[in-house]
Amino acid sequence: MKHSYAVITGASSGIGAAFARCLAREGYPLVLVARRRERLEQLAQELKQAGVESVVFVADLSQKEECYRLMEELSSKTLGVFINDAGFGDCGCFLETDVEKELEMIDVNVKAMHLLSKLVLRKMEKQNGGYLLNVVSSAGLIPAGPYMATYYATKSYMLSLTRAVAQELKERKSSVYIGALCPGPVDTEFNSVANVEFALHGITPEYCAEYAVRQMRKRRVLIVPTMTMKAATTFGRLIPQSLYIRLTGHQQKKKLGTK
């Protein structure tokens, strides 16, 4: 996979930008994808000063055509790593939250991630190798999330899809990897976009990205960065789902400042 590219969606901030810096240190030329051109160009300039080539690709991945346009841009490049990170959340009572924001969330968190996963995997199969990492969330490991209902549902979808496709690739003895990164709270702009304040202490984006890359190299399908979240999700499998959902809802209410 010499001279192959690392592609990061959602690269303008947070975990995406941390992945860009992490993979740049491994020597990959990068393709940086997000909606905010100024942020991408600032990151590209930073990486250039460190001697790393990067391509800025501005796209709104909530639009299906933009996903295809990205893949056209990548058609002549060998893909070593694809970090499928673009996504956002929202918090509040389902009866009161903004339906347009929720539908856009489904477009980005589910439709774009699904479509890019399929197109990237097909390309990697043809080139006989590559790593695809879907940035999901620990929310995908929980049966439901009251007060973040749509967000939890989108993450459950992508976790289920990723694990199923990983098994398919294993059975066909493919050299292509797919995995799901499922962090708990990470200190990023997610909080302000989703209108929440996490009840638990968040990890840094840098730690999250570096841990994920190490586990990706080991071909771990499910990557959960902290012992706290591993313990919480393991505990959740041992209690009735109805109780687990009530406890999850209680935590979400804390984020809203209500009880």
> Could you list the active site residues?
151
> Are the C-beta atoms of 128 and 149 separated by less than 8 Å?
no
Structure tokens at 42: 């600032």
